[in-house]
Amino acid sequence: MNQPIAKAGHGPVLGVETSCDETGVAVFDPARGLLAHTLYSQIRMHADYGGVVPELASRDHVRKLMPLVRETLARAGLGVADLGGVAYTAGPGLVGALLVGATAARALAWSLGLPAIGVHHMEGHLLAPLLEADPPEPPFVALLVSGGHSMLIEVAGIGRYTLLGDTLDDAAGEAFDKTAKLMGLPYPGGPALARLAEQGRPGVFRFARPMTDRPGLDFSFSGLKTQVLLAWQHSDRAEQTRADVARAFEEAIVETLAIKCRRALAQTGARRLVIAGGVGANRRLRAELAEAGAREGFSVHFPRLEFCTDNGAMIALAGALRLAVGQHETPEIRVRPRWDLASLPPVA
């Protein structure tokens, strides 16, 4: 059974993100921009287990999602009847968590006679800088660095993505999180390690910049983690030493990412660089790439800090762009825990 599309592509789009451990909801209006967004993070709940527990994540999305939808609409000054479409993260992510958002979003769309679209979570991250002033125009190169991915993408247009480089093992965020855990920092380790690194002294430790000594745009961070573990275990384990190790680790990751970004720009001839995903919130990475851009004549675009990590705004925006050209899905509820970004249809 197919729903008639009453208001395809028009009016504000509700965006729902439930792929992992944050429940995010937002309303993006193609005519007026982002109207409201809310986020509930499950971090405290998972902290007791030292990582995300998928079953608990799903159950918590069930509890939080509809109250957040209500709150977001209220902040936007809208009722459900004002909506023109619904977007939800359809993958990649935890299957149970994805199903919560997909089911609620599809049911809402069906009951309101609205078009609904399943959004690729990484496309959401990639397009998040378009929520800011002075948005980058394609073509550009995007560095997507999150808990699950480290990718360099050539963006010829919206929905026209070519994978230039990928991680061979740990993603950048995963390397931050695992290294933090090895050094005894509490979950979630990435932001804690970055905070500690700010107190670290430069040059006390130095780690390799993995895979920068050979051509190519792939990443590998698992060896770096081992180097850090050995350095930490053989140290005096003082608080200052921990900060010094954290600083050297962060410098190694940031410089490795920066080298590969510059290489990707040279290879593609692009002059614009987009950084997105949770690790895009890292201050050293932002500063280093902004400086490189100013020095070497390319522009660098980041989302604001809160839109680097998972959020509903990026899903509402990505969905709105696709709904605006008439893309939408049939009413069966489908999620894709694994989903190739390059397989997405182009927009327009």
Binding residues are 121, 125, 144-148, 177, 190, 282, 310
Q: Is 210 helix (H, G, I), strand (E, B) or coil?
A: coil
How far is residue 121's CA from residue 176's CA, in Å, rounded to a whole number?
Answer: 20
Closest separation between CB of residue 189 and ligand KG4, Å? 6
Closest separation between CB of residue 42 and ligand KG4, Å? Answer: 12
Residue 93, phi-psi category: left (phi > 0), alpha (psi -120 to 50), beta (remainder)? left
Give residue for tokens 């490795």. Answer: 256
**Which residue lies nearer to Zn ion by CB, 262 or 286?**
286
Shortest Å distance, C-beta 57 to Zn ion:
13
Q: How many degrees, rounded to 5, is the angle at CA 8 between CA 126 and CA 81? A: 100
Cβ proximity to ligand KG4, 279 vs 333, nearer residue: 279
Draw the binding track, 254-283, toward ligand KG4 (x: CB under 6 A; -: no contact).
-----------------------xxx-xx-
Coarse DSSP helix, strand, coil percentages of the chain, rounded to the nearest 5 percent: 45, 20, 35
Query: 153: which residues sit within 8 A by CB, 6+ positions away?
Result: 126, 141, 142, 144, 161, 162, 163, 164, 341
Shortest Å distance, C-beta 143 to ligand KG4: 12
Residue 226: both structure tokens together = 């081992």
Could you say which of 300, 309, 320, 341 contacts ligand KG4 (CB under 6 A)? 309
- Taking CB under 6 A as the criterion, the residue among 146, 179, 227, 256 binding ligand KG4 is 146
Give least dist CB 311 to Zn ion, A.
Answer: 9
| Of the residues 35, 270, 310, 321, which one makes contact with Zn ion according to CB under 5 A | 310
State the minimum distance, in angstroms, from the CB of residue 254 to ligand KG4: 9
Number of H helices, E strands in the chain: 10, 10
Helix (H, G, I), strand (E, B) or coil at 93: coil
- Contact indicator for 220, 240 with CB cutoff of 8 Å: no
Of 51-59, 141-149, 199-207, 256-264, which segment contacts ligand KG4 by CB under 6 A?
A: 141-149
Among 148, 166, 218, 324, binds ligand KG4 (CB under 6 A): 148
Q: Where are the alpha helices (DSSP H) in the chain?
A: 43-47, 54-76, 95-112, 121-127, 172-182, 189-197, 222-233, 239-268, 283-296, 313-324
> Residue 194 touches which of Zn ion, ligand KG4, none (CB < 5 to 8 A by kind)?
ligand KG4
Residue 129 site contact among Zn ion, ligand KG4, none (CB < 5 to 8 Å, cut-off depends on kind): none
* Binding residues among 131-160 for Zn ion as defined by CB under 5 A: 146
Kindly list the residues in this chain that would bind ligand KG4 in the complex (CB under 6 A). Answer: 20, 146-148, 173-174, 176-177, 188, 190-191, 194, 277-279, 281-282, 309-310
Kindly list the residues in this chain that would bind Zn ion in the complex (CB under 5 A). Answer: 146, 310
